[in-house]
Amino acid sequence: SQELEQSPQSLIVQEGKNLTINCTSSKTLYGLYWYKQKYGEGLIFLMMLQKGGEEKSHEKITAKLDEKKQQSSLHITASQPSHAGIYLCGADGEKGTYKYIFGTGTRLKVLA
Protein backbone atom coordinates (compact mmCIF):
# COMPACT_ATOMS: atom_id res chain seq x y z
CA SER A 1 0.00 0.00 0.00
CA GLN A 2 1.08 3.56 -0.57
CA GLU A 3 2.74 5.52 2.21
CA LEU A 4 3.47 9.20 2.61
CA GLU A 5 6.53 10.19 4.60
CA GLN A 6 6.94 13.75 5.80
CA SER A 7 10.11 15.46 6.92
CA PRO A 8 11.01 16.96 9.21
CA GLN A 9 8.64 15.71 11.91
CA SER A 10 8.96 19.00 13.75
CA LEU A 11 10.45 22.38 13.05
CA ILE A 12 11.13 25.46 15.15
CA VAL A 13 12.06 28.63 13.28
CA GLN A 14 12.52 32.27 14.13
CA GLU A 15 9.93 34.65 12.74
CA GLY A 16 10.97 35.91 9.33
CA LYS A 17 12.89 32.80 8.36
CA ASN A 18 12.08 30.61 5.36
CA LEU A 19 11.38 26.91 5.74
CA THR A 20 10.60 23.83 3.67
CA ILE A 21 8.58 20.73 4.47
CA ASN A 22 8.84 17.62 2.33
CA CYS A 23 6.38 14.86 1.51
CA THR A 24 7.62 11.70 -0.22
CA SER A 25 5.44 8.96 -1.62
CA SER A 26 6.29 5.32 -2.14
CA LYS A 27 4.23 5.35 -5.36
CA THR A 28 3.29 7.79 -8.10
CA LEU A 29 1.02 10.52 -6.84
CA TYR A 30 -2.21 11.13 -8.74
CA GLY A 31 -3.21 14.04 -6.58
CA LEU A 32 -1.27 15.63 -3.74
CA TYR A 33 -2.95 17.86 -1.20
CA TRP A 34 -1.54 20.07 1.51
CA TYR A 35 -3.46 20.82 4.69
CA LYS A 36 -2.79 22.86 7.79
CA GLN A 37 -4.08 21.89 11.20
CA LYS A 38 -4.09 24.30 14.08
CA TYR A 39 -3.61 22.65 17.44
CA GLY A 40 -6.85 21.04 18.62
CA GLU A 41 -8.74 21.87 15.44
CA GLY A 42 -9.64 20.30 12.12
CA LEU A 43 -7.66 20.45 8.90
CA ILE A 44 -7.81 23.36 6.50
CA PHE A 45 -7.20 22.70 2.80
CA LEU A 46 -4.30 24.73 1.40
CA MET A 47 -3.77 23.55 -2.17
CA MET A 48 -3.73 20.60 -4.55
CA LEU A 49 -1.12 19.54 -7.09
CA GLN A 50 -1.68 17.06 -9.88
CA LYS A 51 0.78 17.50 -12.69
CA GLY A 52 4.50 16.74 -12.60
CA GLY A 53 6.43 19.97 -12.12
CA GLU A 54 3.35 21.87 -10.99
CA GLU A 55 3.77 24.74 -8.56
CA LYS A 56 1.10 26.70 -6.70
CA SER A 57 1.26 29.59 -4.30
CA HIS A 58 -1.10 31.04 -1.72
CA GLU A 59 0.09 34.13 0.08
CA LYS A 60 3.54 33.20 1.40
CA ILE A 61 3.16 29.46 0.95
CA THR A 62 4.38 27.69 -2.20
CA ALA A 63 3.91 24.01 -2.96
CA LYS A 64 5.66 22.05 -5.71
CA LEU A 65 5.28 18.56 -7.12
CA ASP A 66 8.35 17.01 -8.71
CA GLU A 67 8.41 15.78 -12.31
CA LYS A 68 8.27 12.14 -11.26
CA LYS A 69 5.21 12.90 -9.09
CA GLN A 70 6.61 11.16 -6.03
CA GLN A 71 7.72 14.10 -3.95
CA SER A 72 6.21 17.41 -2.96
CA SER A 73 7.60 20.31 -1.00
CA LEU A 74 5.88 23.10 0.88
CA HIS A 75 7.88 26.28 1.25
CA ILE A 76 6.99 29.15 3.57
CA THR A 77 8.67 32.49 2.96
CA ALA A 78 9.24 34.95 5.80
CA SER A 79 7.43 32.83 8.38
CA GLN A 80 5.05 34.40 10.89
CA PRO A 81 3.59 33.12 14.17
CA SER A 82 0.30 32.63 12.29
CA HIS A 83 1.99 29.91 10.23
CA ALA A 84 2.41 27.72 13.31
CA GLY A 85 0.54 24.43 13.32
CA ILE A 86 0.74 20.97 11.83
CA TYR A 87 1.16 20.60 8.10
CA LEU A 88 -0.05 17.39 6.52
CA CYS A 89 0.19 16.11 3.00
CA GLY A 90 -2.53 13.87 1.66
CA ALA A 91 -2.87 11.88 -1.52
CA ASP A 92 -5.31 9.81 -3.51
CA GLY A 93 -4.36 6.33 -2.33
CA GLU A 94 -4.88 4.72 -5.69
CA LYS A 95 -6.10 6.10 -8.98
CA GLY A 96 -9.82 5.72 -9.25
CA THR A 97 -10.43 5.09 -5.57
CA TYR A 98 -11.75 7.40 -2.93
CA LYS A 99 -9.30 6.41 -0.26
CA TYR A 100 -7.25 9.34 0.81
CA ILE A 101 -4.04 8.72 2.75
CA PHE A 102 -2.13 11.20 4.88
CA GLY A 103 1.41 11.76 5.97
CA THR A 104 2.12 11.83 9.70
CA GLY A 105 2.50 15.59 9.69
CA THR A 106 5.13 18.24 10.39
CA ARG A 107 4.73 20.29 13.53
CA LEU A 108 5.82 23.89 12.96
CA LYS A 109 6.53 26.41 15.66
CA VAL A 110 7.44 30.00 14.81
CA LEU A 111 9.17 32.03 17.49
CA ALA A 112 8.28 35.72 17.64
Amino acid letter at 104?
T
Question: Cβ 108 to another protein, closest distance in Å?
Answer: 16
Question: Cβ 105 to another protein, closest distance in Å?
Answer: 6
Site of interaction with another protein (CB under 8 A): 31, 33, 35, 40-48, 50, 88, 90, 92, 98-105
Are 110 and 21 in contact by the 8 Å Cβ rule? The answer is no
Residue with Cβ nearer another protein (19 or 87):
87
Question: Cβ 29 to another protein, closest distance in Å?
Answer: 13
- At residue 72, the 3 state secondary structure works out as strand
Distance CA 77, CA 106 (A): 16
